[in-house]
Amino acid sequence: MEKHDPKIKNCSKCGKTFECLHTADCWCMEYDISPENLKLLQETFSDCLCPDCLEGYSTGKKKTRS
């Protein structure tokens, strides 16, 4: 499995610094975002959001698979 170094980014909403993997293993993939909110995020922001801001658009965290 290929290892990806995290990228340091600034949140498109609040400007806070956070780490992004830009892969399916990134922390953001843990959040459940409705199709409506996903569309809103894509239309409103040019890049990723920090965990605090993304949580506001989430319906919660996805359940982990057993």
Domain ranges of the chain: 7-55
**If you search the block for the tokens 């040019």, which residue do you land on?**
46
Judge whether residue 45 has pLDDT over 90. yes
- List the structure tokens of 45: 């922001």
Q: What is the pLDDT of residues 21-41, one digit of tens each?
A: 988 889 999 999 999 999 999
Mean local confidence (pLDDT), 58-64? 73
Residue 64 is predicted with a pLDDT of 55
pTM score of the predicted model: 0.79
Label residue 4 by pLDDT band (50, 70, 90): confident
Cβ atoms of 17 and 49 within 8 Å: the answer is no
Residue 50 is predicted with a pLDDT of 96
C-alpha 56/C-alpha 6 separation (Å) is: 23
